[in-house]
């Protein structure tokens, strides 16, 4: 063995020490065992620490570690028990104590403990003080990389030269660790998976089958089962392998085998299924995998153990992926007056907005963005019973002197939306016959000139300002009203 300790063959020294100690006689050994194991604790002679250090070595390596008695006064004999995990570490030998007479040794690697007793024999019967080495312990790593074991010192017994017990102030245990990353054999945790997928009625989805965390995969056979009322496997194509064969003649079952010209390692595309949706929207089918066999490329060709293979199944769903159709946008009337709180000619300040919306599954909501004219960005439209027409009536407190394209959003029950259609609506300011977005003396003068035929018709919609609900004509009364508005003798038209 190669022990990681400097200076000489420590293992040989341990064996020599043990042999010399045993030559000193059975009578002394038995007497020492009796004294050290069966004593009754009496009193503390000094503050003492017993310790074994942490150890870290590689698989199969060995090392020697001391068990130390520190800050001791007059230690004459000692008995310790060291326990450990025998699946991780073994004690190969123990010895080389500063106490010069070994009295008892019991290495039991099956049970995971070692017992050891020593005493100090001198002419004057004195003990040792200070830092005293109880023993060198030869340890060998028998476990795998990453494993560890506590090194626990138990049943500590120490006597001084007057046969009084020395009580340790503290016991510092250690840990034995084996360096490296735990070994994981290849193909010990393989997953074969098929993801969940979807398609619209009559459409086809390409669904991959993947083998994850595999080493040297050369070939394999899988079976996929599904509900033939919902979907059908129409073809199987190759993934990362050279070739694939298939049997999809029986409804509800697809059998596929692949084979490569080399081994594949990692996450491997086994094959691709072409799955057609033949049922109706909302229907689903399980896609259940069965691994018949997976083979390594080798050589030799070997079977990956079924117990090491996990399967991840998927679900095929038939979904509506087509957005609603939105047509026939209209605004009645297409031009309205702004709203400022003053009454208007009936029907001139409100517009009915209509669209026709159809869908193969069903309409959930239809909204229109009327925020450009001072309304909500998602004003709900309502369905006219018995028709595909959705409608809403709006007014316009804002967005004056502009033509707006108000965007319609139609959403079906599958969550598909269409925003491609808008409804144009023009908003004018009442009394602003010059179309400059203000009503001032210029507009009043224009209406006056209209009464004598000097200018073109301003139109009843914006020119008929008096009375509030209009009288159907534009005359000098309307010009006078605008004049009064400029001096604030009348409300805003």
Task: Specify whether 313 is located in the same domain as 329.
Answer: no
Structure confidence at residue 45 (pLDDT):
46
Q: Is the pLDDT of residue 13 over 70?
A: no
Task: Specify whether 72 is located in the same domain as 166.
Answer: yes
Structure confidence at residue 171 (pLDDT):
93
Provide the mean pLDDT of the chain.
90
Work out the average pLDDT over 35-64.
73
Work out the average pLDDT over 135-142.
96
pLDDT confidence tier of residue 43, bands split at 50, 70 and 90 = very low
| Residues pairing with 160 in the sheet | 75
In a domain, 434, yes or no: no
Structure confidence at residue 38 (pLDDT):
44
Task: Specify whether 54 is located in the same domain as 157.
Answer: yes
Range of the domain at 57: 10-178
Over the stretch 453-480, which tens digit does the pLDDT of each residue have?
999 999 999 999 999 999 999 999 999 9
Structure confidence at residue 476 (pLDDT):
95
Over the stretch 360-413, which tens digit does the pLDDT of each residue have?
889 999 999 999 999 999 999 999 999 999 999 999 999 999 999 999 999 998
55: domain CATH number?
2.60.40.680
Task: Specify whether 196 is located in the same domain as 308.
Answer: yes
Q: Looking at the 3D structure of the chain, how many domains does it have?
A: 4
Secondary element (H or E) of residue 139 = strand 128-141
In a domain, 184, yes or no: no
Task: Specify whether 249 is located in the same domain as 366.
Answer: no
Last residue of a domain, one of 301, 318, 335: 318
Last residue of a domain, one of 178, 208, 243: 178
How is residue 79 written in tokens?
A: 């008995």
- 278-287 in b/e burial notation, b at 16+ Cβ within 10 A? bbebebbbeb
Over the stretch 14-25, which tens digit does the pLDDT of each residue have?
455 455 544 443
pLDDT confidence tier of residue 11, bands split at 50, 70 and 90 = very low
Task: Specify whether 288 is located in the same domain as 341.
Answer: no
Secondary element (H or E) of residue 363 = strand 363-368
Task: Specify whether 401 is located in the same domain as 477.
Answer: no
In a domain, 1, yes or no: no
Which DSSP string corresponds to 36-77? HHS-------S-EEEEE--EEE-TT-EEEEEEEEEEEEEEEE
The answer to whether 233 and 224 are in contact (CB under 8 A) is yes
Last residue of a domain, one of 279, 299, 318: 318
Task: Specify whether 153 is located in the same domain as 249.
Answer: no
Q: Is the pLDDT of residue 257 over 90?
A: yes
Whole-model pTM: value is: 0.52
Q: Is the pLDDT of residue 298 over 60?
A: yes
Q: How far, in Å, are 46, 56, 84, 112, 277 from residue 151 at the CA level? A: 25, 12, 5, 10, 64
Rounded distance between C-alpha atoms, residue 237 and residue 294, angstroms: 18
Q: Coil, helix or strand for 167?
A: coil
């Amino acid at each position: 063995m190669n022990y990681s300790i400097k200076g000489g063959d420590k293992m040989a020294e341990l064996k020599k020490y043990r042999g010399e100690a045993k030559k000193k006689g059975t009578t002394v050994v038995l007497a020492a065992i009796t004294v050290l194991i069966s004593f009754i604790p009496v009193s503390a002679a000094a503050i003492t620490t017993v310790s074994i250090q942490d150890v870290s070595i590689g698989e199969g390596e060995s090392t020697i570690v001391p068990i130390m008695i520190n800050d001791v006064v007059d230690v004459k004999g000692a008995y310790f028990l060291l326990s450990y995990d025998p699946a991780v570490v073994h004690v190969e030998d123990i010895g080389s104590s500063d106490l010069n007479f070994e009295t008892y040794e019991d290495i039991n690697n099956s049970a995971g403990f070692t017992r050891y007793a020593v005493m100090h024999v001198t002419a004057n019967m004195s003990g040792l003080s200070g830092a005293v080495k109880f023993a060198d312990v030869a340890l060998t790593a028998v476990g795998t990389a990453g494993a560890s074991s506590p090194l626990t010192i138990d049943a500590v017994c120490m006597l001084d030269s007057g046969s009084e017990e020395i009580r340790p102030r503290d016991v510092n245990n250690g840990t034995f660790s084996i360096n490296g990353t735990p070994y994981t054999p290849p193909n010990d945790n393989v997953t074969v998976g098929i993801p969940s997928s979807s398609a619209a009625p009559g459409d086809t989805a390409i669904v991959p089958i993947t083998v994850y965390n595999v080493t040297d995969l050369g070939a394999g056979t899988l079976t996929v089962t599904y509900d033939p009322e919902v979907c059908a496997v129409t073809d199987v194509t190759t993934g990362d392998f050279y070739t694939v064969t298939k049997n999809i003649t029986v409804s509800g079952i697809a059998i596929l085998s692949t084979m490569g010209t080399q081994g594949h390692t990692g996450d491997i595309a086994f094959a691709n299924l072409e799955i057609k949706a033949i049922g109706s929207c909302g229907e689903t089918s399980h896609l259940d995998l069965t691994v018949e066999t997976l083979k390594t490329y080798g050589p030799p060709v070997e079977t990956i153990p079924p117990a090491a293979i996990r399967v991840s199944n998927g679900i095929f769903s038939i979904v509506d992926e087509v957005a609603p159709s939105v047509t026939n946008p209209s605004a009645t009337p297409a031009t309205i007056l702004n709203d400022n709180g003053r009454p208007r000619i009936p029907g001139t300040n409100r517009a009915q907005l209509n669209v026709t919306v159809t869908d193969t599954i069903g309409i959930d909501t239809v909204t229109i963005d009327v925020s450009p004219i001072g309304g909500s960005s998602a004003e709900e439209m309502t369905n006219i019973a018995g028709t595909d027409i959705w409608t809403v009536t709006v007014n316009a407190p804002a967005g004056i002197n502009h033509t707006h394209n108000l965007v319609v959003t139609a959403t079906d029950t599958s969550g598909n939306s269409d925003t491609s259609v808008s409804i144009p609506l023009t908003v004018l300011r009442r009394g602003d016959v010059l179309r400059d977005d203000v009503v001032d003396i210029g507009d009043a003068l224009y209406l006056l000139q209209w009464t004598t035929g000097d200018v073109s018709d301003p139109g009843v919609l914006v020119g008929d300002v008096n009375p509030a609900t209009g009288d159907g004509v534009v005359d000098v009364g309307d010009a006078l009203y605008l004049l009064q508005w400029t001096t604030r003798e009348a409300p805003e038209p």
